[in-house]
Amino acid sequence: MSLDKATVAKIARLARIKVPDEDLDALAGELSRILDWIEQLNEVDTRDVPPMTHVAAMKLKWRQDEVTGAPPRDDLIANAPEERDGFFCVPKVLE
Amino acid sequence: MTLIQGRTGEWECVIGLEIHAQVISKAKLFSGAPTDFGAEPNTQVSFVDAAMPGMLPVINGFCVEQAVRTGLGLGAEINLVSVFDRKNYFYPDLPQGYQISQFPRPIVGKGSITLDLEGGETRTVGITRLHLEQDAGKSLHDRDPGATYIDLNRSGVALMEIVSEPDMRSAAEAGAYIRKLRSILRYLGTCDGNMEEGSLRADVNVSVRRPGEELGTRCEIKNVNSVRFVQQAIEYEASRQIDIIEDGGEIAQETRLFDPSRGETRAMRTKEESHDYRYFPDPDLLPLELDADWVAGIKASLPELPEAKKARFMADFDLNAYDAGVLVAERETAEYFEAVAEGRDAKACANWVTGDLFAALNKAGLGITDAPVTASSLGALIDLIDDGTISRRIAKEVFETMWRTGNDAAAIVAEKGLEQISDTAAIEAEIDTIIAANPGQVAEFKGGNEKVIGWFVGQVMKATGGKANPKTVNEILRKKLAD
């Protein structure tokens, strides 16, 4: 499978990764080769295998509905670029 | 069918609703942080909810149970295997950069809701699916002209997204749908249904078409937080779309916001590509597998739901569809009514509950669980009417006193001497006086004006302070006037 330059640019934008125009061709090539590599899986006959989202021989662990607490607010927001009145503070985003 | 008259003919409005209902649970969907509403900002946020690196989600089994219970309450298929997916988008109140949700394989499949419409009519609306997902944090845009403040307390709280089929045809039906869904959720105890606090929020899909034709292009109105606003948004949106089409334009599929202060919807500025969510199964979570016996156990524990209760009230108490619908809308009201009606005339009890009691509650802004008159004391008041101790009119006064003072009906009646006068001699004496004093009215009656009897009854009631038995008064009056 081969990705074109425009698709790579779109993926980068959706992931909020800034990719200079001149790097797009090389990236398209690399990503296409990764997809080709994964596509080898299509050669396996899976007719009798139900669709799955994982291969681990485990079951999902459940927790009880118990409050185990929350960290002190100062710890929580210690890494925030900016904090005001106990809120995380970011540049204005408004619809 | 409800049709809208346009300039060029009739239009049909097609409505589907996506309701986000906050699950009642102590802890969040994937963390042990508390879910209390109204806490200080950022004090209910675990490192999982804040998406600190290396934190892993572990599912809260009770939230799963609540989703299954809701699905069963909607008569829906429960999927014994479902999968959590990541819905990817960037927004400051979504610290993970994705929302854990369910996309192709939700926990609950198709179900239905029966709507109660005007005049006791009903209509069935299909439920497409219900899935579990995380709520996002809250953005506050009004605290600073240049900054947005983020409170992550809500981040990670469990939500059920309940999606309807596009089966509704008017704002009234959409309102009835939300009210009924809210009622079912509250009966089940899976969501408190509080729209002001945001526990129940609606995304509204609206399109218009010529009756019977293919579906038109729809617009989605996001995050509407009251039944009234949902209805206003639909009315506005339908006429906006009709105007565009009748002017020769086309509807652009888009997301819109409802502005309650202007009563109109407007397009969001977000670009289309931001809706490319790139869903994929969350690698941090294995599939959610349910045991069929466990599901059956939840089903066996479901309470009697409004639909069944309404049918029972109509059958057992001989109530009409409207009264029964009003009484079952809230579980607490239904319980109150049943306690009053136990061993009494159900119709009379229904009238007291939906009449005087509801009026007093509305006036005081109280819910039925806060009513100062309990079900048993209202029942005792009704007994006093039934055994002839007081008249209906006096009973209304006694009720008001009960409401104000919290005293028993019997005590109030005794204290104020409100017992009905059924003593014929006493009533006769009053009637004789009134007849003697009003020869004009007597002549009118004899001249064939039957209506004047009402005036006489009124005079007698006035003279006896409303305590005379109206039936006795009527009988004696007719006899005396005929003489």
Q: What is the mean pLDDT of chain B?
A: 92
Kindly tell me if the per-residue pLDDT of B274 is higher than 70.
Answer: no
CB-based contact B149 A84, cutoff 8 Å: yes
**Structure-token pair, residue A89:** 């503070």
Residue of chain A with shortest Cα separation from B259: A95
Q: How far apart are CA B269 and CA B280, in angstroms?
A: 26
Which band of pLDDT confidence, cut at 50, 70 and 90, is reported for residue B364? Answer: very high
Q: Of residues A32 and B421, which shows the higher confidence score? A: A32
Indicate if B194 and B327 belong to the same structural domain. no
Mean pLDDT of B66-85: 98
Residue B26: which of B38, B34, B37 has the closest Cα? B34
Kindly tell me if the per-residue pLDDT of B140 is higher than 80.
Answer: yes
Domain boundary among B298, B332, B355: B298
Task: Calculate helix-pair angle for B171-188, B306-317, nearest 10 degrees.
Answer: 90
Indicate if B192 and B328 belong to the same structural domain. no
Q: Which chain B residues contact residue A62 at CB under 8 A?
A: 58-61, 64
This prediction's pTM: 0.85
Q: How far apart are CA B396 and CA B402, in angstroms?
A: 10
pLDDT one-digit tens code per residue, B311-352: 999 999 999 888 899 999 999 999 999 999 999 999 999 999
* Per-residue confidence (pLDDT) for residue B413, from 0 to 100: 81
Q: How far apart are CA A39 and CA A30, in angstroms?
A: 14
Residue of chain A with shortest Cα separation from B92: A90
Beta-strand pair B219-224/B255-259 = parallel
Kindly provide the residue ranges of all beta strands, DSSP E only, lying in B227-320, ordered along the sequence.
Answer: 255-259, 264-267, 280-281, 288-289
Domain boundary among B378, B393, B416: B416
* Per-residue confidence (pLDDT) for residue B446, from 0 to 100: 83
Q: What is the least distance, in Å, from the CA of B115 to any CA of chain A?
A: 33
Terminal C-alpha separation, chain B: 60
* Per-residue confidence (pLDDT) for residue B269, from 0 to 100: 65
The string of DSSP letters for B373-419 reads S-HHHHHHHHHHHHTTSS-HHHHHHHHHHHHHH---HHHHHHHHT--
Q: How far apart are CA B330 and CA B306, in angstroms?
A: 8
Point out which residues pair with B157 in neighbouring strands: none
Q: How many CB atoms lie within 10 A of CB B441?
A: 18
CB-based contact A67 B41, cutoff 8 Å: no
Indicate if B217 and B323 belong to the same structural domain. no
CB-based contact B43 A59, cutoff 8 Å: no
| Contact A51/B at CB under 8 A | no
Indicate if B48 and B136 belong to the same structural domain. yes
Which are the contacts of B422, defined by CB distance < 8 A and separation ≥ 6? B388, B469, B472
* Per-residue confidence (pLDDT) for residue B99, from 0 to 100: 97
Which band of pLDDT confidence, cut at 50, 70 and 90, is reported for residue A95? Answer: low
Q: How far apart are CA B337 and CA B325, in angstroms?
A: 12
Kindly tell me if the per-residue pLDDT of B271 is higher than 60.
Answer: no
Q: What share of chain B is helix, strand, coil (3-state, %, to 5)?
A: 40, 20, 35
> Residue B223: phi, psi to the nearest 5?
55, 50
Indicate if B135 and B180 belong to the same structural domain. yes
Q: How far apart are CA B280 and CA B277, in angstroms?
A: 9
Q: Which amino acid is at B51?
A: A
Mean pLDDT of B249-274: 83
Residue A75, exposed/middle/buried by CB under 10 A (0-12, 13-18, 19+)?
exposed
Q: What share of chain A is helix, strand, coil (3-state, %, to 5)?
A: 40, 10, 50
Indicate if B368 and B450 belong to the same structural domain. no
* Per-residue confidence (pLDDT) for residue B299, from 0 to 100: 98
Which are the contacts of B100, defined by CB distance < 8 A and separation ≥ 6? B29, B30, B57, B84, B85, B86, B87, B133, B134, B282, B285
Indicate if B263 and B279 belong to the same structural domain. yes
Which band of pLDDT confidence, cut at 50, 70 and 90, is reported for residue B482? Answer: confident
What residue numbers bound the domain in which B149 lies?
A: 3-298
Q: How far apart are CA B74 and CA B332, in angstroms?
A: 20
Residue B347: which of B304, B377, B382, B397 has the closest Cα? B382
Mean pLDDT of B7-13: 94
> Residue B100: phi, psi to the nearest 5?
-80, 120
pLDDT one-digit tens code per residue, A62-85: 999 999 999 999 999 998 999 999
Indicate if B166 and B204 belong to the same structural domain. yes
pLDDT one-digit tens code per residue, B213-257: 999 999 999 999 999 999 999 999 999 999 999 999 999 998 999
* Per-residue confidence (pLDDT) for residue A52, from 0 to 100: 82
CB-based contact A93 B88, cutoff 8 Å: no
pLDDT one-digit tens code per residue, B85-120: 999 999 999 999 999 999 999 999 999 999 988 877
Range in B81-85, B117-121, B163-167 the model is least confident about: B117-121
* Per-residue confidence (pLDDT) for residue B387, from 0 to 100: 84
Residue B45, exposed/middle/buried by CB under 10 A (0-12, 13-18, 19+)?
buried
Indicate if B450 and B354 belong to the same structural domain. no
CB-based contact A60 B286, cutoff 8 Å: yes
- Tell me which residue has tokens 């079952």: B328
- Tell me which residue has tokens 């408190």: B192
Kindly tell me if the per-residue pLDDT of B381 is higher than 80.
Answer: yes
Mean pLDDT of B305-310: 94
Indicate if B451 and B326 belong to the same structural domain. no
Residue B182: which of B168, B170, B196 has the closest Cα? B196
Residue of chain B with shortest Cα separation from A69: B33
Indicate if B118 and B207 belong to the same structural domain. yes
CB-based contact B289 A13, cutoff 8 Å: no
Domain boundary among B366, B385, B416: B416
* Per-residue confidence (pLDDT) for residue B466, from 0 to 100: 77
* Per-residue confidence (pLDDT) for residue B291, from 0 to 100: 97
Q: Cα-atom radius of gyration of chain A, to the nearest Å?
A: 22
Indicate if B159 and B253 belong to the same structural domain. yes
| Contact A93/B at CB under 8 A | yes
pLDDT one-digit tens code per residue, A10-59: 999 988 999 999 999 999 999 999 999 999 999 999 999 888 888 888 99
Q: Give the number of A-B residue pairs with CB atoms closer than 8 Å.
A: 138
pLDDT > 70: percent of chain B: 98
Query: How many domains are contained in chain B?
Result: 3
Which band of pLDDT confidence, cut at 50, 70 and 90, is reported for residue B476? Answer: confident
Burial track B89-100 (b if 16+ CB lie within 10 A, e otherwise): beebbbbbebbb
Kindly tell me if the per-residue pLDDT of B272 is higher than 60.
Answer: no
User: What ipTM does this complex have?
Assistant: 0.91
Which band of pLDDT confidence, cut at 50, 70 and 90, is reported for residue B410? Answer: confident
Q: How far apart are CA B98 and CA B426, in angstroms?
A: 82
Kindly tell me if the per-residue pLDDT of A94 is higher than 80.
Answer: no
For residue B265, the SS3 value is strand
Which are the contacts of A34, defined by CB distance < 8 A and separation ≥ 6? none
Residue B24, exposed/middle/buried by CB under 10 A (0-12, 13-18, 19+)?
buried
Residue B200: which of B452, B329, B23, B38 has the closest Cα? B23
Q: How far apart are CA B290 and CA B105, in angstroms?
A: 13
Kindly tell me if the per-residue pLDDT of B273 is higher than 70.
Answer: no
* Per-residue confidence (pLDDT) for residue B270, from 0 to 100: 61
B 131-170 near A (Cβ less than 8 A): 139-141, 143-152
CATH code, domain with B444: 1.10.10.410
- Tell me which residue has tokens 């009409």: B320
Range in A21-35, B48-62, B256-270, B409-423 the model is least confident about: B409-423
Which band of pLDDT confidence, cut at 50, 70 and 90, is reported for residue B79? Answer: very high
Residues B311/B120, Cβ–Cβ less than 8 Å: no
| Contact B189/A at CB under 8 A | no
Q: How far apart are CA A28 and CA A23, in angstroms?
A: 9
